[in-house]
Structure 1
């Protein structure tokens, strides 16, 4: 009989995604067949699944922790912000619509059948489902029609463990306050609590644990110290993107407003000769960068305008004039061209805007989205490059004759006359060790034989052990309840 337990947070960014990955890994090591599930996620960092859809990147990492390929049922509703007030709504891996937050609030309850359908389909295949909530159940103003936290837990009859983040302060108020504002039926679903991201001597908070337990009646699961190697795992939230000082080769990345699929940066940050500098708005692109990498974007035209407002277009031109290298991936590739045409208004009002002009290509936006896990060949070296495509838009022009990748016999990407400015639609290309090594050698890095995926796997094992040491995993798994109708 399949069982399930849900991990919710007393606030956003308390570390739920990482905890679910570590708990799942620990459960797998106990011999269980485990799958992750997140009813509703909001992220522009998506992963392409083996069944041809897209889900949040965190659920793909959690799937890896479970030894599984990611499938759309692991995250049936994905919201991809396109503006301050609107987002693309992806249901069971495919784009449903784009709407404003207020409109989505009115229709989200209609998605519960699809959410439960995915949950029960997963449950039929595994021993244990570990569910991740979104945001916080304390947002009781959003309780009506909720599908992400207590609304789902109630509909599925799933018990909950609530996690507080002591690093941001006020953790007693986070947890006790959540208990205070929840209706009784929701309180009754919460069985336990834990404290995450502790720094220092955890015994100093033993009285705090007692206070929370006394005020709530929830069982304490432990005080989890800060996991120092968290940066080695792919980040989902844009808040988690950080510069990483490593070696003498500097890669500068402008932090776009709607940056998307930034997992391209993770293998670079893990490379010993590389320093990755994330450049926030208001700061120039560094003059000493060896490579400027323009990442993907959920709203290419809007992010291109933001790029210009920062003066980064001038910095980029100077970088190229000095002989620096440039790589644009997906939206960044589109920005590097001569023009972006969106006559159908896919990203906003219909528009034709000039690009940065460093590649002789033109991008035409079309409503069809390409979603594919892709294996390419690096033409110059013959190295296999595995990645994924997730984009709208078709890019053509003279510089496409300088394609530097090949996919199923067709050229992919473009380069300028001297090859120092390149672009492509293939995300995840730096996770391929051979290609990454060759690419970084071109920038002056020493050749290093590193296995990026093995490093991620080891970090997941270390995370599981970290939780085994500081969290009562056995007690948590004992709280998991049978899934209704799972047999």
Structure 2
């Protein structure tokens, strides 16, 4: 088997693959190894922009941080961004190449696999260890043909696999044994051990099950990892509603959960802010009063605008503004604030279509196939606070509203501020990640005496917690033997 590659696969989605890869990356870095994260194929609407202007899954950007590396397109060579129930935008080596439905993409997988193997080869030549994250479950029978995300990749590069399951979901032994039984003989041999994730309780009560599992399968349980309360890692896709403990006086912020909501990790700093009560408003739920409404990013702006209309959001926003509330649009949410969104090339809808916007800012957007992908930095013009972030958008916005920009960035002005300063919008993601800009935006929204936590320090501290967990709860000697690296 290949010496420097280890793949983490899960019995289900959200079993803990991303978290375990992040933990192992930082633990191995602590031991002095050069490590790179890798996910052959990711399906997610939360993405990140690399320094070279490529787009990868957000989870791989966090894993890169765990390795003390900048994100790179080779860390996630294939990214699928769903734009309907049956199709997705396909991104190869950081660039969108086409929209494909599931059947067309299935035929395209052989080409996608070539990109995957090319990226893996480059990483394996540069780093002592490549930590690979699978996608979903390797036992999805209908997805086994031409698989590039799980065992198809592991077999192609001949790497060992560790299988992780979430005990908090229940049925952990059935998940592990059932998944193993559904694999081929060669794939079963490739699985070198199990990890049981998110355990809480008396470990002695679990031990009979662990012993049975090892005897039943002939494979070791390498770790029973504890449930870490308050752990924050940016989500690969699912919305995390867990909040930090709040102070007595908070700013109430609401966000509609759009059907194609994207890059909602923009809002994590607010969710963890002790002075902010952030609520994600799900479909068919009452729209409560708030100090600030945020319209987030969207992978299908026109469709999500139509959804907002059916849910009563335009009237709620009008009422909110009438009573002095503030409104922020980010990326797709910014485009929604204008008069219309034109799609002459059929980027999201039928070619030549046009969707009426909320009409709150004097501007309009035209969608183009070529995305704007870049990291950026500059100043927030509300108070000249420094700001940095990234852009991912397929539209060009024009109009008088842009004459009063929200940001001055390295490439030029960005966004808009309404004449009465109740409404602001921008294409920049990551607005709240830096203390100074977060303070300024929350003050604009009506919060006095803001003290924003250092979001980057919080994220770094939780990555360190994960590495501590590996130290305390994993058989690291066997882990290094599986990797075939010197265990000192």
TM-score range, shorter chain: over 0.9
CA contact (8 A) 2:135 2:149 kept: yes
Stretches of structure 1 lacking an aligned partner (at least 5 in a row): 483-487
CA contact (8 A) 1:244 1:277 kept: no
CA contact (8 A) 1:161 1:192 kept: yes
CA contact (8 A) 2:21 2:63 kept: yes
Aligned to 1:254: 256
1:16-31 map, 5 Å? 16-31=17-32
Q: How many residues of Structure 1 are paired with residues of Structure 2 in the alignment? A: 480
Distance (Å, rounded) in 1 between the aligned partners of 2:64 and 2:428: 22
Aligned to 2:233: 233
Shift of 1:367: 1.0
Provide the secondary structure at the position in 1 that maps to 2:369.
Answer: coil
Shift of 1:177: 0.5
For 1:14-69, what per-residue CA distance to the aligned partner results, in whole angstroms no more than 9, with x for missing partners? 11101110111111111111110000000010000112101000000000000000
Aligned to 2:480: 477
Distance (Å, rounded) in 2 between the aligned partners of 1:412 and 1:326: 17
Q: Does 1:364 align with 2:373?
A: no
Q: Pick closer, same or farther for the CA change 1:151–1:419 going to 2, 3 Å.
A: same
Tell me which moved more, 342-351 or 72-81: 342-351
Q: Pick closer, same or farther for the CA change 1:273–1:372 going to 2, 3 Å.
A: same
For 1:54-101, what per-residue CA distance to the aligned partner results, in whole angstroms no more than 9, with x for missing partners? 100000000000000000000000000000000001011111111001
Structure 1 stretches of 4+ moved >6 Å: none
Shift of 1:215: 2.0
Distance (Å, rounded) in 1 between the aligned partners of 2:163 and 2:479: 11
Aligned to 2:87: 86
Aligned to 1:454: 457
Aligned to 2:100: 99
Tell me which moved more, 450-459 or 272-281: 450-459
CA contact (8 A) 2:387 2:437 kept: yes
CA contact (8 A) 1:73 1:92 kept: yes
CA contact (8 A) 2:79 2:90 kept: yes
Stretches of structure 2 lacking an aligned partner (at least 5 in a row): none
Shift of 1:315: 1.0
Aligned to 1:485: none
Aligned to 1:395: 397
CA contact (8 A) 1:243 1:277 kept: no
1:400-419 map, 5 Å? 400-408=402-410, 410-419=412-421
CA contact (8 A) 2:3 2:483 kept: no
Q: Does 1:342 align with 2:370?
A: no
Distance (Å, rounded) in 2 between the aligned partners of 1:100 and 1:245: 43
Tell me which moved more, 364-373 or 218-227: 218-227
CA contact (8 A) 1:85 1:100 kept: yes
Q: Pick closer, same or farther for the CA change 1:449–1:254 going to 2, 3 Å.
A: closer
Q: Does 1:424 align with 2:422?
A: no
Q: Pick closer, same or farther for the CA change 1:131–1:409 going to 2, 3 Å.
A: closer
Aligned to 2:270, which of 268, 271, 274? 268
Aligned to 1:223: 224
Aligned to 1:466: 469
Shift of 1:244: 5.9
Q: Does 1:285 align with 2:287?
A: yes
Provide the secondary structure at the position in 1 that maps to 2:469.
Answer: helix
RMSD: 1.5
